[in-house]
Structures are given as structure tokens and as C-alpha cells.
Amino acid sequence: MIPFLANIDPAFKVLAPRTADWLTILPEIAVAALALVCLVQAILLPKPLRWLIPATARTGLVLVIAMAYTTAGPWAPKNDVESFAGLLRQDLPFAGVRLVFLASALLTSLLAARFLRERGAAIADYHHVLLVVTAAFMLLAQSNHFVTFFLALETAAVGLYVLVGYLRRSEASLEAGVKYLVAGGLSSALLLMGIVLVYGALGSVAGITDSLNFTQIGKALSAQVQTPTGISPLTLVGIALILGGVAFKLGAFPFHAWIPDVYQGAPTPTTAFLATASKAAGAFTLLVLVTGPFAALALKLAPVLAIAAVLTLLAGNLGALSATDVKRTLALSGVSHAGFILAAVTVAVIAPEATAYGYTAEQVVVLYLLAYLVGTFLASQALVSLPAAADHLRPHLALRGLLRRSPSLAAALGFGIGSLAGVPPSVGFIAKLLVLALLVKAKLWWVLGVALVCVAISIHYYFCILREAVVRPTEDNVELAPLEISFGARFLIGALAAATILGGLLILN
């Protein structure tokens, strides 16, 4: 052996991944393998058997969800266990984190198959990219090192550009794709510059061997806070840039400007996926960063987060008031939901021990995202099944008479929007209640006040949408033909509507 390699070998052996490391990310590997299976099927299967592609993807996702919930397996998250020599670490309520992404992918697949067939777009490719993005999000949420963090984030982002611009015959979809591309590219560049500055500024601190590792960054920052000079301005600029990049994913003020256009133009299943999985990824990474590596800066970060939460709530709700398109209204209301999530993250920073009904702030973020997911997919299912001139033109008026045309779609809209608005006893109400209770525990009265005002505003615009569904069309030339809803869609609506009611009870028990 070359002597030079003989020296490197022991050091490399310490860092080389072990079997136990691979087992901790078995669900992620399974999802990525499923993505490849979709492509192989697209090549091998004859046309009449193409329905197997989404069927395989869904069966696989259901199995992975079951797997992620087995507490006995080696992939079951154990708190604060680092794998791959510190590249990954599962320290959030991680079974719930996985569930958010997997459930979002499963429901998106259920919405997408028929939607894409009607528009003559390829189904296998969509599922492939969807599953790759899901696996990347799952890795992103457990990153403990800025290399894995950046790679997982960018894998997901590039995949999402494809999913947003997927209908290449539709100008709206392409325009949304390009807008998302420019906004996303800008945020990645800012994020990367932030990572570089933190890496460089902390790299010269004594005792730090790897200034990209979250644990070591945390150590370096808490050591620097105690010194009289404090944290260097270069590091602070870097941290601000990183948090800005993450706020873009979450859709928090002032990085929410891209949301209405992109959500409106994207194919509706992609919109639902963006709203749930992408927002969840932003929320989890923000939570990991502010409670992990940047925890030493809690005093500086807390007011910034609280102000961002308040401004996000206001921007989302005031924007949604004036929107006349259903997808735009839901997009801007999603911004206000991001505000609630930010409020919970603020509590996680200010008072890490605070609990609401026995749930910590981190668990509340996961529960809030699950509740938001159920409501969003119910409303999206109603939109997907409703015929429209173009996917990006869904004015409130188009919903007129929905109750008479299809009671099941009206029920989907009713349960979904009811849950998003937070009508008791829906799961959305319980989720909002948990966040408000956390704010009380942390004594953030002004955030609490704004949140309450915003709940009142949101009820107004949510019910404007619902009112249209109930009102009879005024013009005689509007046909009131009943809509054909497939059995699968009915089943999905029933299951999700049950989840809005039962989910709340499950949380409180």
C-alpha cells in the first residue's frame, strides 16, 4: 500500500458509515428507491399497465409510513443520536416529521394522477420527482451539517422547480416555474453565502475542527457570546443570511412575495405539496437551526422571530382579504399559517420548557403542520375535481352552486376550510389553540393579540369562499349540471373529513 494512504486509512475508518448509520435512514432510502422504481416501470410497462406506476408509489408510501411508525425498528428515531459521523441527527419529534412529508407526498399522488391524465402530462416522471423531493425533505429535517443541509435543500428545490413548471403547455405553469426559479435561486445564493460566512468566521476559533457541523457551531457560538468582544459581525451577517434563506422556504415575511403567483400558477397538486411539505421543511429547518447551532443567540433571535411572526400573520391575512381567486386566497392564508408556526418557533426559543396541554413547542409545530395538511388537501381535492377553464383561473365566483352540483365536493370544501379557519371542534381549531396556549405560557401578549385579531380576519375571508359554494348562481346561463366524482375522490374526502374531526380529539387525549 502507498504509505501516504496508510496514514489516512485509520482516520477515514472512524468517519466511514456503519451499517447502523444506514439503518437510521432506511425510510429515506426506501422513498428514494421507490422513485427509481417509478422510472423503471415507465420504461418496462406497456401502456395498458401504466396505472401500476401511481399504485406502486402509493403502496410504497403507505408501507414507509407504517415503517416510520414502528418504534421497534433500528430506523426508529432515538433522541439525539448522531449518524454518519455527525452529518445527520434526529432530535425533533421525528416520527411526526417523517409523517408530514410522507402523508403530503401520498395525498399529492392521489390528487395528481387524474389531474395529469386529463391534461395529457406524464404521470411516472411526476411521481419520480415527487418522491425524490420527499426523500430530500426528510433528509433536510435531520441534517446536522451544512453540507447535507445545503445538498438536501437544493435537491428538493430543483425538484420543485420541475413540479411547478410541469404543465409545459400551460403558460401559467411555466410562468410560475420561472418565478419560483428566480426567487428560489436568489434565496439559495443568499443561504450559501451565509453558510460560507459562518464557516469562515468560526473556522479560526480555537478547538473547532469542522465549522460546518451544527454541534460545533453551537459550541463555538456559546463560547464567543461569553467573550467581551462577542460574536463577530461576519458571523452575524452569515446567520442572518441563512435564516433569510430558510424564511423563504417557510414563506415568512418579508420573503413571502413569491407565494401568491407561484401557488396560483402551479398545477393544483403541486400547489398542495408546496403549501404543506415545502412549508414544513422550512419550519423544521428553522426550528433545528434556532434551537440547535444558533441557540446561544436566543436573546438576539427571539425578538426578530416574534416580529417576523407578527408581520407574517398580518401580511398573509390582509393580503388574503383582497384576493378574489381561490388559489390566491389559500396561498396568502398559508402565509398566515406560517405566522402561527413562527409564533410556536419563537416560544421554542424563548421558553423551551413551556408546554401546552402536555405538548412542547416542537411537538406543537408538527401537530400544526399535520392539521394544516389535512385542511389544505381537502380544499385542494375540491378544486382539482371542479372543472375550470384553466387551472390558474379559479375565481371565488366559479364555486357558486357547488352545494347543489356536488354535495361531496361542497363537504370537502366545508370541512377543509372549516379546519383551516379553526372552527371548533376541528383539528385546525385544536392546533391554533395549542399555539395560543403556548403564547400565553411564554407571556408573549402582543403576539397573542395579533394572532387573535388575525383569526377573526381569517374567518371572514374563509367564509366568503364557503358562502359562494352555498349561494345559488344568479345568471340563468350557468349550468347546474351535477358533477361526477370518482369513488376514489369520495373515499379520500370521507377519510380526510373524518381526520379533521377525530384528529382534534386524538390530540387532546
Rounded Cα gap, residues 457 and 469, in angstroms: 20
Helices 26-44 and 52-68, interaxial angle, to 10°?
170
CB of 364 to other proteins, least distance (A): 33
Please, are residues 273 and 108 in contact by the beta-carbon 8 Å criterion? yes
Residue 212 binds other proteins, judged by CB under 8 A: yes
**Maximum CA extent, the chain:** 88
Residue 17 binds other proteins, judged by CB under 8 A: no
Rounded Cα gap, residues 282 and 274, in angstroms: 11
By C-alpha distance, which of 291, 224, 349 is closest to 80?
Answer: 291
Task: Kindly tell me which of 75 and 263 has the beta carbon lying closer to other proteins.
Answer: 263
Joined together, the cell numbers standing for residue 32 give 428514494
Q: According to CB under 8 A, which residues from 171 to 200 bind other proteins?
A: 171-172, 174-179, 181-182, 185-186, 188-190, 192-193, 195-197, 199-200
Residue 125 binds other proteins, judged by CB under 8 A: no
Residue 317 binds other proteins, judged by CB under 8 A: no
Residue 147 binds other proteins, judged by CB under 8 A: yes
Alpha helices in 141-207 (DSSP H): 146-164, 171-203
CB of 159 to other proteins, least distance (A): 9
Joined together, the cell numbers standing for residue 256 give 413571502
Residue 405 binds other proteins, judged by CB under 8 A: no
The number of C-alpha atoms within 13 Å of 172 and in the hemisphere containing its C-beta is: 17
CB of 137 to other proteins, least distance (A): 16
CB of 19 to other proteins, least distance (A): 24
For 88-130, the three-class secondary structure string (H helix, E strand, C coil) is: EECCCCHHHHHHHHHHHHHHHHHHHHHHHHHCCCCHHHHHHHH
Rounded Cα gap, residues 463 and 458, in angstroms: 8
Please, are residues 374 and 398 in contact by the beta-carbon 8 Å criterion? no
Member of 27, 60, 96, 165 binding other proteins (CB under 8 A)? 165
Q: Which residues pair with 356 in a beta bridge?
A: 359
Residue 39 binds other proteins, judged by CB under 8 A: no
Member of 150, 340, 429, 462 binding other proteins (CB under 8 A)? 150
Region of 8-16, 142-150, 248-256, 417-425 interacting with other proteins (CB under 8 A): 142-150
Number of residues in contact with other proteins under rule CB under 8 A: 50
Binding mask 222-261 for other proteins (x = CB under 8 A): --------------------------------------xx
Residues within the interface to other proteins (CB under 8 A): 146-147, 150-151, 154, 157-158, 161-162, 165, 168-169, 171-172, 174-179, 181-182, 185-186, 188-190, 192-193, 195-197, 199-200, 203-204, 209-212, 260-261, 264-265, 322-325, 328, 392
